[in-house]
Chain A
Amino acid sequence: MDRFIDDLPPMDLMRSEKMMFVQLIIPVESAQRAVSYLGELGLLQFRDLNSDKSPFQRTFVNQVKRCGEMSRKLRFFKEQINKAGLQSSVHPVSGPDLDLEELEIQLAEHEHELIETNSNSEKLRQTYNELLEFKMVLQKAGGFLVSSNGHAVAEETELSENVYSMNDYADTASLLEQDIRAGPSNQSGLRFISGIICKSKVLRFERMLFRATRGNMLFNQAPADEEIMDPVTAEMVEKTIFVVFFSGEQARTKILKICEAFGANCYPVSEDLTKQRQIIREVLSRLSELEATLDAGIRHRNKALTSIGFHLTKWMNMVRREKAVYDTLNMLNFDVTKKCLVGEGWCPIFAKAQIQEVLQRATFDSNSQVGTIFHVMDSMESPPTYFRTNRFTNAFQEIVDAYGVARYQEANPAVYAVITFPFLFAVMFGDWGHGICLLLGALVLIAQERKLSNQKLGSFMEMLFGGRYVLLLMSLFSIYCGLIYNEFFSVPFHIFGGSAYRCRDTTCSDAYTAGLVKYREPYPFGVDPSWRGSRSELPFLNSLKMKMSILLGVTQMNLGIILSYFDARFFGSSLDIRQESEVILYLGARYQFVPQLIFLNSLFGYLSLLIIIKWCTGSQADLYHILLLLLATVAVPWMLFPKPFILRKLHTERFQGRTYGILGTSEMDLEVEPDSARQHHEDFNFSEIFVHQMIHSIEFVLGAVSNTASYLRLWALSLAHSELSTVFYEKVLLLAWGYDNLVIRLVGLAVFAFATAFILLMMETLSAFLHALRLHWVEFQNKFYHGDGYKFRPFSFALINDEED
């Protein structure tokens, strides 16, 4: 037996990669290059040796700061490019390779240039805005003056009406011109201030003016025709032109102060019409000049930005990499001579040659006299878990990791999940019509794989895309299970030949009450299509699905227990295990395996056996076999008692020769004699282990019952799914089809399509997925999986780029 197990071929995904703890001693001159080469390789996880130091006390803090400053500049460029509405090119052009210093200088130049042009164009924009506002004030306020002067003698009520009817007056203004020139407004002691203000502030502005002058003023306003660009934020602002009439010097200073406080720009408007026209002409000519200058400025700026945009992506990547390199270098320590950097980290054993090759290349490329020293060390920490996955297995590994990352070298449930997960899903989602829909979706995702993987997706699409191969297998298995259940949107099909049953009479009216008669050989594959809607349908399907759930559950749980044995064997025999107490626990697990297997199988294994016998022969056996019950009763104390005692015996045996404890545990001793002393020395506490064991045994005994019952969810969800699809098919589609009316039929079809797409395909998929997830995480994995490891996170540029994007 043992030999047989040892001879089994090793499975790639079953155990995580063997890791080793390595130390690097890199000469300072080649350190930067070496680390960046390692980043490209991406197979070494550095350990932070300076975790007690704050970020600005580390060695390469200045470089990190410089990188931070450069990325700030790059962000500034990006923002400017976006603001200008330009597209930064996604495909980086191959420019000359710069080193960091050159790039820094270039970036500083570009930034300086950009800021200067920005401030110039801001100033220009400011003057332009002022002129534009002046023009608008002149045009609109001229209208007010015309109208108010015309009615200077009129009653105040009429004046206020002007506010509302001002547009009409603006049109007729030219006609009234001749009359107005006669009476200048100063005669009535009335003076005015005209200006322009943000539209949002008008109401408060008016109220404030009213209060400050105690109502002795007249406020006229008109919306500006054009929006004005705010020079700083480059947003378009709506403005309103106003003219305030008032009398008195005191009021004037007050109003001016209020204007200032509200950020309203005041422009003088001459009452003399010829003068006004002249000014307008001047303003217009200067406006067009300024416009040309502004345009030229913007064109120049956009050109500069486009040229930056070409390199932007490349530069950003470069700065990001450099920053990552320096962040990593900050994790390293200086050695005593200050000429070398010492780094520690984890790498998979297979990568040793690659890493050495890379380090040699770095030494060579940086013309260093001394090579990098790379050697394996011993570590007390448990190594990180690293599975080499491909795009197919990755999603399944993610499903397992979502529960907990496997302990180092622990049996990996993802290996089995590749098949069991989609299969359990399909048991709940058995419908080959729905399966085909899912399959199409999965195939579209897979066909577009190359395109979609480069694209940034929404969180939902991202999830769907990540699980495309899971989806593919799920759909394939649902088609398979659907064929067994003979469900196609709840319509039965005669695919594998004719049905074995027929009705009792020609009307078939008693199919539900009396049942059908069998008249030939059974239907060759799956459920007989004639049963749909007959008396035997539900009892048969329920019994089938229920028993199948139990069978699947017992099988999967047995697999879990067997895996716990494999783990125990693996860890118990492996010599390079570091923590002795752990070895003992795994040794103990070997003694638990037999009673666990006996307990589960004497109760539920026997049940499964009976199910199969009944399916094959049709005979009903006694459910309770007294011998098996006895066995189960014996298995419980067997599970509980021997392990703690065996553990205690093993412990005393192991430490027999070591009555004298290890005294010198300083760092030096550990360095000298790594093999003997670096183990974690834990006290053996018998009562603690016994209590622990008791909890475990109780959990297992109760769990055996409740977990088996839990697998019945397979039956429940499958039943729910088929009933739901029956309801939508019969009560919606067939009902609507019964009417001889196109509208009703279309409505029925639409409702059916929506229900199928959203309820059956989306919600039911989700719920079946979640239940399959639960069955794996809880019922299967609690038999063997610890899941308390940590993931291998190598220093890798590829990963950094992914994170940033």
Chain B
Amino acid sequence: MYGFEAMTFNIHGGYLEAIVRGYRAGLLTAADYNNLCQCETLDDIKMHLSATEYGPYLQNEPSPLHTTTIVEKCTLKLVDEYKHMLCQATEPLSTFLEYITYGHMIDNVVLIVTGTLHERDVQELLEKCHPLGMFDSIATLAVAQNMRELYRLVLVDTPLAPYFSECITSEDLDDMNIEIMRNTLYKAYLEDFYKFCQKLGGATAEIMSDLLAFEADRRAVNITINSIGTELTRDDRRKLYSNFGLLYPYGHEELAVCEDIDQVRGVMEKYPPYQSIFSKLSYGESQMLDKAFYEEEVKRLCLAFEQQFHYGVFFAYMRLREQEIRNLMWISECVAQNQKSRVHDSVVFIF
């Protein structure tokens, strides 16, 4: 069907594509960020945001604002938009939209499980969960003692169930286990999503494979860096890499044996698209890596909007909004803690 989307896409997808492009036009611009960075107090931020699409969500908040309220309300807007699109969507777009939330679902599961392990209050943990990754019985996660129970009690009802096939063990949960579980789940999720997009074909497959490959590669790098110096074996590490992406398979072999950040760098610089990211960093530095990856991601996400008649725009929009909310959170924190000099450290401008 590649190349012929224009004939049929608009039957089901046209309306929503228009909607999502409209939403995208509401993303904050560089001028907005400039103004936001000059804010002195959180009230200034609220005042500025009230002139944007966030206005209706913030207008009824009483005045001593907190960063969390701003982030919460901004996320609420994203969730409202997502729900609106999901309600309007037909197959296969609705499945595609649901796939977007699975990542949050995994994060929420991990958050709750880790939280209960450290004996936190469940309600408190629930408030911290990302609203996009909520499912019915999420609170029951606290009951589970080990992976098997976790799966059998709760997750079997969720869309995450198939991803669990690889990590069902009877071991008790501990921090390391959970982190491995998160990455195994994520790997399975990304591969499944990738397969789904390939099945959709056309421009969606083309664009999404690029975006997902980037995501997979970024995770591979992060896993490598985070597992340096831990007891994770090379084989275990290798198992956590997704089976697609630019680094697959040779890059993964090399990453699996890396012992320090500079080796990772050496591996990554063999791949031209990632060369530019690493060339921005000085040797031995990994702090700014996240930001560099985010910037690259945002650039790629924005490019997704250049082409019409594909589902990549939905994925791209959700990701961009999330990035925007991260930006707002960072700016608000900087303003609230009087650290305005650090505002630019972590803000990724979207346009």
Interface set of A (CB-CB < 8 Å, partner B): 54-57, 61, 64-65, 68-69, 72, 75-76, 204, 208, 211-212, 254, 257-258, 260-263
Instruction: Give chain B nearest CB distance to A159 CB in angstroms.
Output: 24
Since A56-B44, A68-B47 are in contact, a sample of 17 more A-B pairs with Cβ atoms closer than 8 Å, ordered by chain A residue number, is A54-B38, A54-B48, A55-B47, A55-B48, A56-B48, A69-B63, A204-B137, A208-B137, A208-B153, A211-B152, A212-B143, A257-B140, A257-B142, A258-B143, A260-B139, A261-B122, A262-B140
Chain B's closest residue to A256 (CB) is B143
Q: Is the CB of B47 within 8 A of A56?
A: yes
Known contacts A54-B38, A211-B152; A261/B139 CB under 8 A: yes
- Interface residues in B118-156 by Cβ distance below 8 A to A read 122, 136-137, 139-143, 152-154
Contacts of A56 in B (CB 8 A): 35, 38-40, 44, 47-48
Q: Is the CB of B140 within 8 A of A208?
A: yes
Contacts of A64 in B (CB 8 A): 47
Complex alpha-carbon distance, A261 and B159, angstroms: 20
Complex alpha-carbon distance, A61 and B38, angstroms: 14
Known contacts A54-B38, A55-B48, A56-B39; A258/B62 CB under 8 A: no
Contacts of B254 in A (CB 8 A): none
Q: Is the CB of A61 within 8 A of B143?
A: no
Contacts of A61 in B (CB 8 A): 47
Contacts of B60 in A (CB 8 A): 72, 75-76
Contacts of B153 in A (CB 8 A): 208, 211-212
* B51 is an interface residue with CB less than 8 A from chain A: yes
Known contacts A72-B62, A204-B136, A208-B153; A57/B38 CB under 8 A: yes
**Number of B residues, CB within 8 Å of A:** 26
9 A-B pairs closest in CB distance: A261-B139, A54-B35, A56-B44, A261-B140, A257-B143, A211-B153, A56-B47, A69-B63, A208-B140
Contacts of A262 in B (CB 8 A): 139-140
Complex alpha-carbon distance, A258 and B138, angstroms: 11
Complex alpha-carbon distance, A65 and B48, angstroms: 11
Contacts of A55 in B (CB 8 A): 47-48, 51
Instruction: Give chain B nearest CB distance to A324 CB in angstroms.
Output: 16
Contacts of B39 in A (CB 8 A): 56
Chain B's closest residue to A66 (CB) is B63
B44, B122, B140, B141: which has the most chain A beta carbons within 10 Å?
Answer: B140
Complex alpha-carbon distance, A262 and B50, angstroms: 36
Pair count A-B, CB < 8 A = 59
* B59 is an interface residue with CB less than 8 A from chain A: yes
Complex alpha-carbon distance, A76 and B51, angstroms: 20
Complex alpha-carbon distance, A204 and B153, angstroms: 11
Q: Is the CB of B47 within 8 A of A261?
A: no
Contacts of A76 in B (CB 8 A): 60
The 24 sampled A-B contact pairs (Cβ below 8 Å) are A54-B35, A54-B38, A54-B48, A55-B48, A55-B51, A56-B38, A56-B40, A56-B47, A65-B43, A68-B47, A72-B59, A72-B62, A75-B60, A76-B60, A208-B137, A208-B153, A208-B154, A211-B153, A212-B143, A260-B122, A260-B139, A261-B122, A261-B142, A261-B143
A56, A61, A75, A208: which has the most chain B beta carbons within 10 Å?
Answer: A56
Contacts of A261 in B (CB 8 A): 122, 137, 139-143
Complex alpha-carbon distance, A345 and B55, angstroms: 29
Q: Is the CB of B38 within 8 A of A258?
A: no
Contacts of B61 in A (CB 8 A): 72
Chain B's closest residue to A254 (CB) is B143
Contacts of A204 in B (CB 8 A): 136-137
Chain A's closest residue to B31 (CB) is A54
Complex alpha-carbon distance, A208 and B154, angstroms: 8
Chain A's closest residue to B44 (CB) is A56
Contacts of A260 in B (CB 8 A): 122, 139, 142
Q: Is the CB of A65 within 8 A of B152?
A: no
Complex alpha-carbon distance, A55 and B46, angstroms: 11
Interface set of B (CB-CB < 8 Å, partner A): 35, 38-40, 43-44, 47-48, 50-51, 59-63, 122, 136-137, 139-143, 152-154
Contacts of B139 in A (CB 8 A): 260-263
Instruction: Give chain A nearest CB distance to B33 CB in angstroms.
Output: 11
Complex alpha-carbon distance, A555 and B63, angstroms: 65
Instruction: Give chain A nearest CB distance to B52 CB in angstroms.
Output: 11
Contacts of A211 in B (CB 8 A): 152-153
Contact of B47 among A65, A254, A257, A263 (CB under 8 A): A65
Chain A's closest residue to B139 (CB) is A261
Contacts of B142 in A (CB 8 A): 257, 260-261
Instruction: Give chain B nearest CB distance to A581 CB in angstroms.
Output: 33
Chain B's closest residue to A211 (CB) is B153
Q: Is the CB of B48 within 8 A of A258?
A: no
Complex alpha-carbon distance, A68 and B51, angstroms: 12
Complex alpha-carbon distance, A258 and B139, angstroms: 8
Chain A's closest residue to B47 (CB) is A56
Contacts of B152 in A (CB 8 A): 211
Contacts of A57 in B (CB 8 A): 38
Complex alpha-carbon distance, A204 and B59, angstroms: 37
Instruction: Give chain B nearest CB distance to A334 CB in angstroms.
Output: 20
Contacts of B122 in A (CB 8 A): 260-261
A57, A64, A211, A254: which has the most chain B beta carbons within 10 Å?
Answer: A211
Contacts of B35 in A (CB 8 A): 54, 56
Instruction: Give chain A nearest CB distance to B57 CB in angstroms.
Output: 13
Instruction: Give chain A nearest CB distance to B236 CB in angstroms.
Output: 30
Complex alpha-carbon distance, A69 and B43, angstroms: 10
Chain A's closest residue to B152 (CB) is A211
Instruction: Give chain A nearest CB distance to B148 CB in angstroms.
Output: 12
Contacts of A263 in B (CB 8 A): 139
Contacts of B50 in A (CB 8 A): 68
Instruction: Give chain B nearest CB distance to A383 CB in angstroms.
Output: 28
Q: Is the CB of A258 within 8 A of B140?
A: yes
Complex alpha-carbon distance, A72 and B60, angstroms: 6
Complex alpha-carbon distance, A76 and B142, angstroms: 37
Complex alpha-carbon distance, A263 and B123, angstroms: 10
Contacts of B48 in A (CB 8 A): 54-56
Complex alpha-carbon distance, A527 and B52, angstroms: 63
Complex alpha-carbon distance, A55 and B336, angstroms: 19
Complex alpha-carbon distance, A263 and B139, angstroms: 9
Contacts of B141 in A (CB 8 A): 261
B44, B48, B50: which has the most chain A beta carbons within 10 Å?
Answer: B44
Chain A's closest residue to B50 (CB) is A68
A54, A64, A75, A257: which has the most chain B beta carbons within 10 Å?
Answer: A54
Complex alpha-carbon distance, A257 and B137, angstroms: 12
Chain A's closest residue to B35 (CB) is A54
Contacts of B136 in A (CB 8 A): 204
Contacts of B62 in A (CB 8 A): 69, 72
Complex alpha-carbon distance, A258 and B153, angstroms: 11
Complex alpha-carbon distance, A68 and B35, angstroms: 19
A208, A211, A261: which has the most chain B beta carbons within 10 Å?
Answer: A261
Complex alpha-carbon distance, A261 and B142, angstroms: 8
Instruction: Give chain A nearest CB distance to B136 CB in angstroms.
Output: 6
Instruction: Give chain B nearest CB distance to A255 CB in angstroms.
Output: 9
Complex alpha-carbon distance, A263 and B122, angstroms: 11
Contacts of B59 in A (CB 8 A): 68, 72, 75
Contacts of A257 in B (CB 8 A): 140, 142-143
Complex alpha-carbon distance, A73 and B62, angstroms: 8
Instruction: Give chain A nearest CB distance to B205 CB in angstroms.
Output: 36
Chain B's closest residue to A214 (CB) is B152
Contacts of A69 in B (CB 8 A): 62-63
Complex alpha-carbon distance, A17 and B43, angstroms: 43
Chain A's closest residue to B149 (CB) is A212
Complex alpha-carbon distance, A208 and B156, angstroms: 11
Complex alpha-carbon distance, A55 and B143, angstroms: 51
Complex alpha-carbon distance, A57 and B41, angstroms: 12
Complex alpha-carbon distance, A61 and B45, angstroms: 13
B50, B122, B139: which has the most chain A beta carbons within 10 Å?
Answer: B139
Contacts of A54 in B (CB 8 A): 35, 38, 48
Complex alpha-carbon distance, A262 and B153, angstroms: 14
Complex alpha-carbon distance, A68 and B58, angstroms: 11
Contacts of A208 in B (CB 8 A): 137, 140, 153-154
